[in-house]
């Protein structure tokens, strides 16, 4: 098994993808809108990935946050609100907002689990800042780090109740980024003291099963390498100051933020870089076959510590329960928070 999560090109596993994945044994997979059409098709796709991996619990990820970041959309799947809705509800009634966030996430988890998807890249723990780029925007719960932590915890709990593993992101915080890291490398010049605010939600949720790094340069901690590629940040901040000791994946290797970092435009170089920095998993989302070949060729066998973290993370949610009532509970909680 190699320490990589791979995307796919289309709505079914191609013969060439199957051959590559059989040869390199990626640790898991991630789905996007290009991969989903109908519930029956998605279930067939996830079944084929599990059969290929020989593992009914192989990680199959998706970004289903609600709002504009939703790979599964109507008419086949319901709409879910963006995280900011729960932050706004918190201003009126914190306990009701937490109940709504939990019920909403349980509905998400049930929907995903029924499709064979067992990991949702949610919740965002990015604390909103004055100059925060719109790439985060309404995906953030808001400005109060303690509120962000509480709603993040409620979301994690809801996903778990629905039978889905949650991923906190973007560790150690994307809220101060003024650029879209899909397109360029954001540089955050806040002091270490100022950045303490950004760390609060991640510290409070340091027991989350998985986390995803930020492709952001934080000059207070490392003047040259972004968090995903910085051994200093991963060792001293993520593993040290935050205390996160579960599965750590990079954000997508294909994002242009990494283009000016060591590794440049080489997917192999980027993959080696994030693993050498201390990430357990290199995430490659694009589904480009040649790039996946390069990443697979660059990575060796997953390390023992990373394998143990992966196994621990995938055991976190257990099996889904209460599926019949989960969406009704979500509806009632959202009405109460409105």
- pLDDT digits 0-9 by tens, 78-126: 999 999 999 999 999 999 999 999 999 999 999 999 999 999 999 999 9
User: How buried is 52 (Cβ within 10 angstroms: 0-12 exposed, 13-18 middle, 19+ buried)?
Assistant: middle
Can you give the C-alpha Rg of the chain in angstroms? 19
Q: 317 pLDDT band (50/70/90 cuts)?
A: confident
What count of other Cβ atoms lies within 10 Å of the Cβ of residue 40?
10
* Chain centroid offset of residue 50 CA: 20
What mean pLDDT value characterizes the chain?
A: 95
Question: Residue 329: which H helix or E strand, with range?
Answer: helix 323-337
Check pLDDT > 80 for residue 65: yes
The C-alpha atoms of residue 19 and residue 261 are separated, in whole angstroms, by 31
Taking 3-state DSSP, the helix, strand and coil percentages for the chain, each rounded to the nearest 5, stand at 45, 15, 40
Contacts of residue 266, Cβ cutoff 8 Å, sequence gap at least 6: 294
Q: Which two tokens stand for residue 39?
A: 């519930």
The residue assigned the tokens 């029924």 is: 114
> What's the whole-number mean pLDDT along residues 45-73?
97
Check pLDDT > 90 for residue 326: no
Over the stretch 156-207, which tens digit does the pLDDT of each residue have? 999 999 999 999 999 999 999 999 999 999 999 999 999 999 999 999 999 9
List the single range of 10-14, 57-61, 315-319 with lowest mean pLDDT. 315-319
Measuring CA to CA, which residue among 183, 263, 283, 187 is closest to residue 227? 187
Most confident of 51-55, 128-132, 334-338: 51-55
Measuring CA to CA, which residue among 30, 17, 22, 21 is closest to residue 281? 30
Q: 332 pLDDT band (50/70/90 cuts)?
A: low
Query: Phi-psi category of 196—alpha, beta or left, where left has phi over 0 and alpha has psi -120 to 50?
Result: alpha
Reply yes or no on whether 182 is catalytic: yes
The C-alpha atoms of residue 298 and residue 292 are separated, in whole angstroms, by 10
Q: 322 pLDDT band (50/70/90 cuts)?
A: very low
Per DSSP bridges, beta strands 64-66 and 69-70 are antiparallel
Q: Which of 76, 146, 182, 207 is catalytic?
A: 182
Q: Using a CB cutoff of 8 Å and minimum separation of 24, what contacts does 315-321 make? A: 316/160, 316/165, 316/209, 317/109, 317/118, 317/159, 317/160, 317/162, 317/163, 317/164, 317/165, 317/209, 318/160, 318/163, 319/163, 320/109, 320/110, 320/113, 320/114, 320/162, 320/163, 320/164, 321/161, 321/163
Q: 333 pLDDT band (50/70/90 cuts)?
A: low
Q: 131 pLDDT band (50/70/90 cuts)?
A: confident
Over the stretch 286-303, which tens digit does the pLDDT of each residue have? 999 999 999 999 999 999
pLDDT of residue 132: 87
Over the stretch 213-247, which tens digit does the pLDDT of each residue have? 999 999 999 999 999 999 999 999 999 999 999 99
pLDDT of residue 320: 45
> What's the whole-number mean pLDDT along residues 251-265?
95
Q: Which of 120, 251, 252, 294 is catalytic?
A: 251
């Amino acid at each position: 098994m190699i320490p990589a999560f791979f995307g796919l090109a289309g709505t079914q596993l191609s013969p060439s993808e199957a051959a590559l994945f059989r040869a390199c044994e990626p640790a898991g997979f991630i789905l996007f809108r290009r991969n989903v059409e109908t519930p029956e098709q998605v279930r067939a796709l996830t079944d084929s990935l599990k059969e290929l991996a020989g593992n009914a619990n192989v990680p199959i990820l998706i970004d289903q946050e609600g709002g504009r970041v939703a790979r599964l959309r109507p008419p086949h799947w319901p709409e879910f609100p963006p995280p900011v809705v729960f932050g706004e509800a918190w201003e009126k009634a914190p306990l009701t907002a937490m109940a709504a966030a939990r019920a909403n996430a349980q509905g998400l988890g049930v929907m995903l689990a029924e499709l064979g998807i067992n990991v949702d890249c949610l919740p965002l723990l990015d604390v909103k800042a004055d100059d925060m780029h719109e790439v985060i925007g309404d995906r953030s719960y808001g400005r109060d780090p303690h509120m962000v932590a509480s709603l993040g915890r409620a979301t994690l709990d809801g996903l778990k109740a629905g039978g889905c593993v949650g991923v906190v992101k973007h560790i150690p915080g994307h809220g101060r980024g003024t650029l879209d890291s899909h397109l360029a490398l954001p540089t955050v010049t806040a002091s270490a003291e100022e950045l303490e605010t950004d760390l609060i939600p991640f510290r409070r949720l340091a027991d989350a099963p998985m986390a995803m790094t930020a492709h952001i340069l934080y000059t207070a901690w490392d003047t040259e390498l972004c968090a995903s590629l910085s051994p200093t940040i991963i060792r001293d901040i993520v593993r040290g100051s935050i205390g996160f000791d579960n599965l750590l994946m990079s954000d997508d290797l294909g994002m242009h933020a990494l283009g000016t970092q060591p590794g440049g435009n080489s997917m192999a170089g980027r993959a080696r870089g994030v693993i050498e920095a201390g990430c357990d998993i290199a995430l490659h989302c694009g589904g480009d076959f040649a790039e996946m070949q390069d990443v697979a060729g660059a990575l060796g066998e997953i390390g023992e510590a990373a394998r143990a973290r992966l196994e621990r993370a995938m055991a976190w949610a257990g099996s889904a329960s209460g599926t019949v009532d989960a969406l009704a509970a979500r509806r009632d909680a959202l009405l109460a928070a409105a």
